[in-house]
Structure formats: C-alpha cells, structure tokens
Amino acid sequence: MIYEGIVYRPPSESRSLIIQITVGCSYNRCTYCNMYKKKVYKTRDLDLIIEDMIDARDIYDRVDKIFLADGNGLVVDTYTLTEILKSIKKIFPECNSVSIYATPKDVLDKSQNDLKLLKDMGLKLIYMGIESGSDKVLVNTNKGINSKELIQAGQKVKKSGIILSTMIISGLGGKKEWIDHAEKTAMVLNEIQPDYLALMTLMVKKGTVLYDEVREGEFQVLNKNELLKETLLLIKSLELNNCIIRSNHASNNLVLKGDLPKDKMMVISEIEKNIIKEKNVIKLSF
Ligand code: SF4
C-alpha cells in the first residue's frame, strides 16, 4: 500500500487505518491552505482502493477504525462511496468506525437520502471544516461558501444521524475581523449544534495567498494573547447543548478540553487564567 504524497488526518484518527480514496482537495483554493498544493486532484480507481484494503488486511490483524483520505473524500460520488463502505464491511468486519473529511459544499451536493444511505452503509463520522462563521472572513479567505450555507450543511449532516465533527481556525480574521470572526462563528455553531468542535490556530504557510497578504501588511496576525481573547469571546458566545470541544492540534498554544455546556465555565476560566498570566491584567470583559 503506497500513499500518493503527504496524507493528512485529524488528531483523533491517529490509530486509524488510512485508506486514500482521493488524491488532494477538489477545491484547493482557500487562501491560507497549502496542504494539497502539490497534488492534482483525482478520485482513485475503486480497484486500487480495494487492493489497498486487501494489502492492509494482510498487515493488520485488527482494524477498529478507518479514515478515508485525502482532503475532502465526501466529494466522491455516492455510488463509489457505498462500494467502498461495502468493501470495508467485507474486508474488515471488526471495524466499528469509518470517517471522512468533507467540505460544506460536498455535504450540500449530497441529497439527504444520500447521507442517510452512507450512514446505513457504515459512515460513522464526518469532519467538516467550518473555519469561520463570519461572511467577511469567508470571503477574505476565498472559502467559496457563506454562513447560511455552512448552517445548512451542518444541519444536514446532523439530520442524517452521522456524527458531525467541526473544525474552526482561531485567528483567521486577523486583527481587523477577530470580533466578527468569534461572534459569527459561535452563531453558526449554535445553529448547527455539532457533536465535536476542534479549535485549530492559524498558521501562515509559505506559498499561500495569505502569506503574501501578511508580507504586504494587508493581514495582521493575532499574537498569543489576542488569540486567547478571541477564543474567550467565542466560548462565551457558544450555546451548545451537547458538544465535546478540543484544542489539541499541533497549532494550538493552549490545550483546552471540555464537554459543553457542563464544562463551559471551566474552559472560560482556563483561558482567562492564561491571559492573566501573560499580561498581568485582572480580567477581560466584552
Ligand atoms: S482548507 Fe480544506 S477545502 Fe480549503 S484548500 Fe485546504 S483542504 Fe481544501
């Protein structure tokens, strides 16, 4: 089994078998992302995907979890996805979790019945990048989607019964839009009510449009304290009924964990403690 190029997976899939069903990202136009710049997008042949599964079966005695890479596997047509899920059931009968990355657009392009079918065939979890709920930030970063569509996509996954794990990027609004970014992102998440929320932090990568914007002074990156202040505003604005939040990505300065709403005050106090430590101020209020 040979992967084509670098393969990325969410931190929570560190023990999963990764099966590459696509190469690259079919969108590949977000201003801050360089993950798939060197790859030309394609869906891999079903025969090759199944061959990889058979190879992996020879290597691993037990496979509990499978992650379908690359960047947005859900873009693959529903028939092919059901064939992949069928083969997983046959080749890895012990596997109890199949997950995949999806852009909100990929979700919107599937019908509600498609999503239900994929769930019934064994797709357990979708990782969907929201990144920001601010329409200004979504335009600035060329996400190709607006906040209303983000809400529709998130609610569609929830309605299908597939577990929804969302990602957002702290600092994506820069110094200009950090308040709008925090407030509108919370608003979108409150409408969606995801099962999981992962906070990542913006990393400016060479070779991206954002990198040039930073060099030209058009985009100003938040410092550590400003990031904490933004996260504090976001968490305070969240009204999630049953969501596990995590900021344990390599990009994060502060590791946060909690189940909302139960741990909301604990998470808030953890952030406040860190702001106080660094700046020696008493408390931030909004
Ligand atoms: S952020 Fe996601 S959708 Fe955007 S280019 Fe990167 S992988 Fe593709």
pLDDT (tens digit, 9 = 90+) per residue, 4-38? 999 999 989 999 999 999 999 999 999 999 999 99
With beta carbons less than 8 A apart as the criterion, state whether 106 and 151 touch: no
Rounded Cα gap, residues 46 and 21, in angstroms: 8
Residue 27: give its domain's CATH number: 3.20.20.70
Query: pTM to 2 decimals?
Result: 0.94
**285 in a structural domain:** no
Q: Whose CA is nearest to atom 7 of ligand 1?
A: 71
Share of the chain above pLDDT 70, in %: 96
Distance 34 CA to ligand 1 centre (A): 8
Q: What is the pLDDT of residue 276?
A: 64
69 falls within a domain: yes
Atom of ligand 1 nearest to the CA of 129: 2
Q: Is 128 helix (H, G, I), strand (E, B) or coil?
A: strand
5 occurs within a structural domain = no
Residue 236 domain flag: yes
Model confidence pLDDT, tens digit, residues 27-71: 999 999 999 999 999 999 999 999 999 999 999 999 999 999 999
Q: Does residue 40 contact residue 24 with C-beta atoms inside 8 Å? A: yes
* C-alpha of residue 203 to centroid of ligand 1, in Å: 14
Grade residue 283 by pLDDT with cuts at 50, 70 and 90: very low
Distances (CA, A) of 28 to 25, 31, 40, 135, 142: 5, 9, 9, 19, 10
Q: Is any atom of ligand 1 closer than 6 Å to the C-beta of 27?
A: yes
Distance 61 CA to ligand 1 centre (A): 33
Q: Whose CA is nearest to atom 4 of ligand 1?
A: 30
Number of domains forming the structure of the chain = 1
The confidence score (pLDDT) of residue 66 equals: 98
Domain range for 57 is 11-277
Q: Is residue 185, in this structure, part of any structural domain at all? A: yes
Domain-located, residue 283? no
Residue to probe by mutation, ligand 1, list 6, 33, 168, most atoms within 8 Å of CB? 33
Q: How far apart are the C-alpha atoms of 169 and 210, rounded to whole Å?
A: 14
Is residue 284 included in any domain, yes or no? no
φ/ψ of residue 188, rounded to 5? -65, -45
Residue 137 Cα to ligand 1 middle (Å): 15
Q: What is the pLDDT of residues 247-263, one digit of tens each?
A: 877 777 788 999 999 99
In this predicted structure, the answer to whether residue 93 has a pLDDT above a threshold of 90 is yes
pLDDT, residue 205, reads 95
Ligand 1 centre and the CA of 28: distance in Å? 5
The closest-lying atom of ligand 1 relative to the alpha carbon of residue 29 is 5
Question: What distance in angstroms lies between residue 30's CA and the mean position of ligand 1's atoms?
Answer: 6
Name the residue at shortest CA distance from atom 5 of ligand 1. Answer: 28
Give a yes or no: residue 50 inside a domain. Answer: yes
Site to substitute for ligand 1 among 28, 40, 166, 169, most atoms within 8 A of C-beta: 28
